[in-house]
Amino acid sequence: DSGVTQTPKHLITATGQRVTLRCSPRSGDLSVYWYQQSLDQGLQFLIQYYNGEERAKGNILERFSAQQFPDLHSELNLSSLELGDSALYFCASSVTGGITDTQYFGPGTRLTVL
Amino acid sequence: SQQGEEDPQALSIQEGENATMNCSYKTSINNLQWYRQNSGRGLVHLILIRSNEREKHSGRLRVTLDTSKKSSSLLITASRAADTASYFCATDAKRETSGSRLTFGEGTQLTVNP
């Protein structure tokens, strides 16, 4: 158990809908990251937050948005869902968000878009 | 595009044997991390090696890093059936912008037969 929690574990929804994925980082970690794992594109970095501020951005679609709240939990919002958005979404956290940090991953949320 | 490429894509060995997985990457890095993933589940952090380190050990794991060849290897000694999983290398590339992001390879599927 990494100490990173994600809810829900599974989510099934329809195309065009909007969902919110939630992540709580390890105690003491200030930075959270979001990654997407799909069969065709593998594991891809989406976005990083540090202490409430966006720190780095990857291949995140405009339909997706994220934020980190004052209590350091983070939410990833996915809207206008398409079949291709079906994937495992991982949250990770680290202490400072710096280049020497280990990133600890949560168990993931499996999103299925029908 | 994937920064890291693992080799081999799949490896099948007998319990007690050693398993070696290789990873190559394309750009200069700050660090390289190895993760394990059991089928469809979360990523478990194994080891982080910094760009100025050449070798690191953790229990039955030995990781080497050759920055001149842009490659790393993960050796698991005295393998067990419980080591069966996918193994990913992930690099944090040097960049001018702030933040940290991991770029993952496609992984090596290790099967340890009892």
3 state SS for chain A: CCCCEEECCEEEECCCCCEEEEEECCCCCCEEEEEEEECCCEEEEEEEEECCEEEEECCCCCCEEEEECCCCCEEEEECCCCHHHCEEEEEEEECCCCCCCCCEECCCEEEEEC
- pLDDT band at residue B1 using 50, 70 and 90 as cut-offs: very low
Q: Minimum mean pLDDT among A5-14, A61-70, B29-38, B92-101: which range?
A: B92-101
- pLDDT band at residue B101 using 50, 70 and 90 as cut-offs: confident
Q: Does B48 contact chain A (CB < 8 Å)?
A: yes
Check residue A90 and give its pLDDT: 97
Query: Which residues of B are less than 8 Å from A98 in CB distance?
Result: 100
Q: Which whole number is the average pLDDT over B6-28?
A: 93
In this complex, which of A31, A88, A102 lies closest to B33 when CB atoms are compared? A102
Q: Which whole number is the average pLDDT over B72-88?
A: 96
